[in-house]
Structure 1
Amino acid sequence: MTSTHIDVSAVDLAALGAWMDAQGLPEGEITGMAPVLGGTQNVMVRFERGGRPYILRRPPLHARPKSNDVLRREARVLAALRDTPVAAPRLVAAQTEVQSELEPVFYLMEPVDGFNASMGLPEPHASDPAIRHRMALEAASALAVLGRVDPDVLPGFGRPEGFLERQVPRWLRELDSYGRLDGYPGPEIPGLRETAGWLDANRPAAFTPGIMHGDYHFANLLYAHDGPRVAAIVDWEMCTIGDPLLDLGWLLAVLPLSEAQIPGLASPREIVDCYAALSERDLSAIDWYAVMACFKLGIVLEGTYARAFAGKAPKDLGDALHATTLSLFERAGTIMRDSL
């Protein structure tokens, strides 16, 4: 879960308590308030009231124009998944109707008993290679569970029609938009046009729409403390109705990057086989989804590199992410060659 370090005194405890009373939640004094650390995008605060723990999630104190819309979207997704087997944080209540966009949308969820592996491995994970190997398979299993949920639980959510056809043009437009940033020399990404052409030429003819997480990687998973089970999939702001196999491709695309935090993960073939055993989806074009994920993620990361030229992001961060973009396109090229 992403969050930002805040002064918890900025939370209006009286207003929060009154709102919780109106939701019929246990009454009492709000105690133990502390920020949940580990990111930069949204505020998360943990507290207790009436003998029950909560996590409050709201936009940053200096909110972006779409911050409230993002939180509304997340709350809607979590509400829809609450009665499914998906490993998602359990929504308690949400305040999505506000008098002004200057007033923050927020929601409460139950705390998850788990850890983020991208921030370090505890025991027994750190010293047990069998657990680390299984962590990738559990990530695939949790994703397969999501892919089986009827997308009708989110009516009118996303635009599944033409979803795959839109992907390459949409991300090339995103890349072109970086040219408006001062100083950016334009994309110097070997294989960019070849990858785009291959994706258009090899696009699957059809797919079964389903719920997509939209940013499925290990930093957005919380693992159980006692083993490799995924305790929760978090950060649902990119969720949509599209092709769930793109989530699987995303997991495969970031696998080499994830090995730095979790050495000894299962291989791409093992991950695909694990998903296939739990899903009725056609995985014959899984290479396309992995290449598409490399293409999309590489372009997303290039945006920070472009912003660094304009002084809107740290140069060292931009350089590091540009290097990751190049490695993702190299990986796409390898997958394309091996799929011939």
Structure 2
Amino acid sequence: MHPMSDPSALTAAWTEKVLAWLPGVLPGDGPIELEPLVAGHSNLVFALRRGEDRYILRRPPMGEYAASAHDVLREARLLTVLADVGSTRTPRVVAIAETGDAAGIGPAYVMTRLPGEAIRTEAPPWLDSPEKRATVGRELVSALAELHALPIEPFEAAKLGRAGGYLSRQLKRWSGQRDEFVAKGVRPLADEPPIREWLFANQPEERASTLVHGDFKLDNVLVDPETSRVTCVLDWEMATIGDPLADLGFLLSFWPDSPETAAVFSELLGEVTLGEGFPDRAGLVEIYAELTQQKLTMDDLRWYQVLAMWKMALLLEASYTRHLAGTTDDPFFACLDTANPRLLAAALALTKSG
């Protein structure tokens, strides 16, 4: 592989530049430790340490990606607005490297690292009782309800979204991205066209606009092991203003509550939420309905679940295409050969369940 297309070589060269840039933008003095995190399969994420202070550095993946994807600078602007409106479960931006900066760092940004641990495909040792698992489930939904209650005007003013028309824009955007990849000769996905057709034909009336996270699921938050409280919501790159049920539908789609739902995408999800005490999907809806004082049923969320699964499949298929091109060395992407069609098959089945 040519060194300029080798993701490892590209990352190593970029890391050298970062280590020269960080001393001038981080508070304090002293040496800086930089360590890649094995979290996530999209943006590159690094843990930073300077003295007693902890930070996270994020940048897009090496290699080609859709122009509107992995916009970390937009995410940094959104985190800044979240701080301005008083959000307490989000990190604070410390430094930004713009696209095309002289140092060759951007696009990238550094944020504070809040306390807490991520829960991914395996349950941590401290999550050892039904009571703790129930608390984590309720806390997760509480964090979602909190962000949906934030005022949207500051986000509109910062050009981070606009009220109304979100669902139509989502269908147009993701359909367009898929069509661009198809035009380049990527592999066909037999279940994608009928899912798309169903989404367009059954689009619901949009709810009143709120801030939406766009990628809200268990492994995108940090949890305090002592209290089981959600301390931080992460990965805001897809956030905008829109229909809040899109977030709830996304959470349900990637919250296994039976061995069958866990098997849909076991490589990504694991079986953590099958543990005793965690609410099932219907239970999550009940908690959200209670906290937001509205009536909701699982049937109200079906369209939004299909939307979430379709979007995730299209996003991951783009990553799989980069894997085939050799512009990412993340071994996870190899599993998408079979996992992504399985996810789409489950989404198609859900369209026929009503």
* Range of TM-score over shorter length: 0.7 to 0.9
What is the distance in 2 between the residues matched to 1:130 and 1:316?
Answer: 35
Shift of 1:253: 0.9
- Alignment partner of 1:270 is 2:283: yes
Q: Whole-Å Cα distance in 1 between the matches of residues 78 and 271 of structure 2? A: 31
Distance 1:99 1:34 in 2: 21
Give the count of matched residue pairs.
Answer: 323
Structure 2 residue matching 1:255: 3-state secondary structure: coil
Offset at 1:227?
3.9
Q: Which residue identity lines up with residue 218 of structure 1 in the other structure?
A: L
With 94-103 and 278-287 compared, the bigger mean Cα shift is at 94-103
- 1:199-218 equivalences under 5 Å are 199-218=199-218
- AA at the equivalent of 1:286: L
The 10-residue stretch of structure 1 (265-274 or 160-169) with the greater mean CA deviation from structure 2: 160-169
* CA positional deviation for 1:289: 0.9
SS at match of 1:248: helix
Report the 3-state secondary structure (helix = DSSP H, G, I; strand = E; otherwise coil) of the residue aligned with 1:44. strand
Deviation sequence 1:83-120 (CA, Å, 0-9, x none):
42452123345565975483435544332211121164
Q: Deviations over 1:142-182 (max 9, x none)?
A: 11111111111212212444221233343233223232445
Superposed counterparts of 1:134-283, under 5 Å: 134-154=135-155, 155=157, 156-182=159-185, 184-189=186-191, 192-256=192-256, 257=262, 258-264=269-275, 265-280=278-293, 283=296
* Matched letter for residue 170 of structure 1: R
Equivalent residues of 2:96, 2:110 under 8 A apart:
yes
Structure 1 contact 309–315 (Cα < 8 Å) conserved:
no
Pair 303,132 (structure 1): closer, same or farther in 2 beyond 3 Å: same
Per-residue Cα deviation, 1:196-216 (whole angstroms, up to 9, x for no partner) = 333223222232112121212
TM superposition score normalised by structure 2? 0.76
> What percentage of aligned pairs have identical amino acids?
27
Matches of 1:139 and 1:321 in 2, distance apart? 27
Instruction: Report the CA distance between 1:306 and its aligned residue.
Output: 4.4
How far, CA to CA, are the matches of 2:334 and 2:16 in structure 1?
37
List gaps (5 residues or longer) in structure 2: 1-9, 257-261, 263-268
Structure 1 contact 86–145 (Cα < 8 Å) conserved: no
Q: Counterpart of 2:315? A: 300
1:92–1:11: structure 2 CA closer, same or farther, 3 Å change rule? closer
Q: What is the root-mean-square deviation in Å for CA atoms of aligned residues?
A: 3.6
How do residues 118-133 of structure 1 correspond to structure 2 at under 5 angstroms? 118=120, 120-125=122-127, 127-133=128-134
Q: How does 1:73-92 map to 2 (within 5 A)?
A: 73-82=74-83, 83-92=85-94
Checking the alignment, whether the CA contact within 8 Å between 1:113 and 1:225 is kept in structure 2 is no
1-structure distance, mates of 2:331, 2:62: 24
The 1:106/1:179 distance shift into structure 2, 3 A limit, reads closer
Distance 1:111 1:309 in 2: 33
Give the aligned partner of residue 265 of structure 2: none
Query: Aligned AA for 2:243?
Result: D
Aligned counterparts of 1:247 and 1:320: Cα–Cα separation in 2: 26
Alignment of structure 1 residues 35-54 onto 2, 5 Å: 35-39=35-39, 41-49=43-51, 52-54=52-54
Task: Give TM-score scaled by structure 1 length.
Answer: 0.78
CA distance in 2, matches of 1:307, 1:11: 24
Per the TM alignment, residue 234 of structure 1 is displaced from its structure 2 partner at its CA by 0.9
**Alignment partners' CA distance in 1, 2:86 and 2:338:** 39
- From 321, 334, 339, the counterpart of 1:324: 339
Following the alignment from structure 2 to structure 1, what is the Cα–Cα distance between the partners of residues 25 and 330?
A: 43
Shift of 1:272: 0.7
1:250 Cα deviation after fit: 0.9
Q: Does 1:113 align with 2:115?
A: yes
Aligned residue type for 2:169: R
Q: Structure 1's 315 and 74: CA in aligned 2 closer, same or farther, altered over 3 A?
A: closer
Aligned residue identity for 1:114: G
* Deviations 1:215-262, CA, capped at 9 Å, x for gaps: 122221211122432121112112212222211111111112435244
Task: Identify the range of structure 1 (285-294 vs 36-45) with the bigger mean alpha-carbon deviation.
Answer: 36-45
Shifted more, 76-85 versus 302-311: the winner is 302-311
